[in-house]
Amino acid sequence: MAKVIITCAVTGAIHTPSMSEHLPITPREIAEQSIAAAEAGASIIHLHARDPNDGRPTPDPAVFMQFLPVIKQSTDAVINITTGGGLGMTVDERLAAPLRAKPEMCSLNMGSMNFNISGSAARIKNFKHEWERPYLEGTTDFIFRNTFKDIEQIVGRLGKEHGTRFEFECYDVGHLYNLAHMLDRKVVEPPLFTQTIFGILGGIGAEPRNLMFMKETADRLFGDAYVWSVLAAGRHQMPFTTMAGMLGGNVRVGLEDSLWIGKGVAAKSNAEQVAKIRRILEELSLEIASPAEARQMLKLKGGDAVGF
């Protein structure tokens, strides 16, 4: 088996400050937790930005540039910037920071979908900020836009113009077929770093049979032209990433995807989750890929070719 790439998604745009005191909000917190995650074994760091005053997701390139250079100077990890942004952002807003930073890698969602995280609001007794409740509850009437035109535009503006490669986020089986369509039309080029995602309401459910089905479908569509990775939301994070490792896949953890380290136990940091999945994988006799090895596996342009 190839070595396992561990991606750590540090803060995201799903969880809000009231959900966990350990969620990194400020540029300093995001940088510190990213560096610690890399030191714990993550070879790729996936990043969103937040308004340091109230923690709401922001597309502002100036906020990204407060932590991107710090992380780059302190670790060799691959920096992967979101193009999904936060709920309600336009495609241009979502692209603002990546176009300025020109990173080695960006996430790219492979289809429009219902994206319902409203259930989280009911579990919070006291919100720290006024924006949080309507942000969460509003997702009952929210479609996360990623049209074929949007996808092709993002690949063109980032990939073809700046050499950025992508983490193709597939929340359902149809997204794999969307990616296959793009491959057939030569919009995207292998190796396709394909992140199959489980447990988001609106996407495929977190059931082991679905993990197998998504892998079997990707194997059939892409053959040896893809590199498979798995993330699962909430309590499914560790079981699903463990299964992925056993099946020859790569894994993603981090506080974007789950706020927990065990049943009823909050994760105190991203590094804690990275260390746990690394320990599990190594106890299964699997080797963890270094950043240099991840770059080679994914054919990335290198950290010296970015814009920060």
Reported as a single tens digit per residue, the pLDDT across 7-66 is 999 999 999 999 999 999 999 999 999 999 999 999 999 999 999 999 999 999 999 999
Reported as a single tens digit per residue, the pLDDT across 131-140 is 999 999 999 9
Reported as a single tens digit per residue, the pLDDT across 94-125 is 999 999 999 999 999 999 999 999 999 999 99
77's tokens: 């990890």
End-to-end CA distance of the chain: 34
Local structure of residue 156 (DSSP, 8 states): I
Reported as a single tens digit per residue, the pLDDT across 239-295 is 999 999 999 999 999 999 999 999 999 999 999 999 999 999 999 999 999 999 999
Q: Is residue 72 exposed (0-12), middle (13-18) or buried (19+ Cβ within 10 Å)?
A: buried
Task: Please report the pLDDT score of residue 182 as a whole number.
Answer: 98
pTM, to two decimals: 0.97
Mean pLDDT across 183-204: 98
List the one residue out of 211, 269, 272 whose CA is nearest residue 245. Answer: 211
Contacts of 27 (CB under 8 A, 6+ apart): 49, 52, 63, 66, 67, 70
Question: Rounded distance, CA 174 to CA 176, Å?
Answer: 5
- The answer to whether 97 and 78 are in contact (CB under 8 A) is no
- The answer to whether 94 and 64 are in contact (CB under 8 A) is no
What SS3 class is residue 75?
coil
233's tokens: 């939301």
| Residue 195: band (very low, low, confident or very high) from pLDDT cuts 50, 70, 90 | very high
Task: Please report the pLDDT score of residue 1 as a whole number.
Answer: 74
| Residue 75: band (very low, low, confident or very high) from pLDDT cuts 50, 70, 90 | very high
